[in-house]
Amino acid sequence: MKIAIVLPRNMHFGPRAASSIDLCVRDAALFSRYRDSTTVICQEVDQLFHGLAVRTYRPGSTRQRVAEIASIARDVRPDLVVVHQHLPSASALARRLRPAPVLLHKHNFIDPVTWFRRQRRYRQLNRLAGIVFVSQTCRDAFVEAFPAASPASFVAPNGLD
């Protein structure tokens, strides 16, 4: 199984300034049974983590980033795409990378929104194959705020110590 893990802009997938999200991705990929068939797609940084296949994209507008990430992912030809944290990117990639399923991995809450924005949020959510939350509290809040969302949701606590 080929997996593409996508990090949002402004993450630093390297040892100098890694966030908890970067560390979660690094550890999950490094210790996965799919390590050899996983590619991390992240923004360019000065020094990347070693031991994983990594492809980088340039900073730019969301539209430019999504187009570049989609192009990289098509080269990788993943069976599964996991997008961390950024729902708009996950939704846009789900449209562009069909039939590969796209999961959103959320490290915090999906904020409730006004009625008008709720309709757009539902469209974004319903393009996804699933959503992974790092806590039951985040998942419960999501289910309460978006009861009609179609993707399955799961809890997978991160393994950071």
Which pair of tokens denotes residue 47? 């020094």
pLDDT higher than threshold 90 for residue 161:
no
**Burial of 109 (C-beta count, 10 Å sphere; 0-12/13-18/19+):** middle
The per-residue DSSP string of 67-93 comes to HHHHHHHHHH--SEEEEES-HHHHHHH
pLDDT digits (tens, 9 = 90+) for 6-46: 999 999 999 999 999 999 999 999 999 999 999 999 999 99
Which pTM was predicted? 0.94
Segments of 7-58 assigned E as strands: 38-43, 53-57
Q: Is omega for the bond preceding 99 within 30 degrees of 0, making it cis?
A: yes
Which pair of tokens denotes residue 34? 């799919």
pLDDT cut 90: percent of the chain above it: 88
Spatial contact of 5 and 84, defined as CB atoms under 8 Å apart: yes
